Structure 1
Amino acid sequence: MEKNWVKIFTSTNYYQSEIVKQMLIENHITSVLINKQDSAHRNFGNIEVYIHEEDFSQAIEIMILNQPTS
């Protein structure tokens, strides 16, 4: 991976990670998923969402404003 990428989100749930990625993309923040789950056992490992370092503050703000309420 290129330099200047930072991890913004980690989950064991692929769909949850994909939702975060798409939410960021919709707000013009380039994001990628890195799947570190074991291919044989989906219960082991994480899916991580990465963004460019310069987008970090904006991404955190978007994630806070869009988190589900209880």
Structure 2
Amino acid sequence: MEKHWTKLLVTTNTFQAEITKQMLEEHGVPAVVINKQDSSYRFGQVELYVHESKEAFARDLMSKIGQGDNEA
């Protein structure tokens, strides 16, 4: 991961991470999902990163839609 990216969300739900990423991108916040789950057994975590310059805005968006409970 490049410098200046902040982990915003850690979850085991791949769909939640992807939907959150899409919502952030629709609001102009670049986001990256890194899937660290085992491909066979689906254990592990999925992490969502945003650039640190957009972190406060992204956290505010997530709190407004009720997705702030699994924050990193």
TM-score by length of 2: 0.88
- Alignment length, in residue pairs? 67
| CA-to-aligned-CA distance 1:13-58 (integer Å, 9 cap, x gap) | 111111110110011000010000011110x101110000111100
Q: What 5-or-longer segments of structure 2 have no aligned partner?
A: 68-72
Aligned CA-pair RMSD: 1.1
Structure-2 separation of matches of 1:22 and 1:67: 15
Equivalent position of 2:70 in the other structure: none
Q: Does 1:46 align with 2:21?
A: no
Q: Which amino acid aligns with 1:32?
A: V
Equivalent position of 1:63 in the other structure: 62
Structure whose alpha-carbon radius of gyration is higher: 1
Equivalent position of 1:29 in the other structure: 29
Q: Identify the structure with the greater helix proportion.
A: 2
Q: What 5-or-longer segments of structure 1 have no aligned partner?
A: none
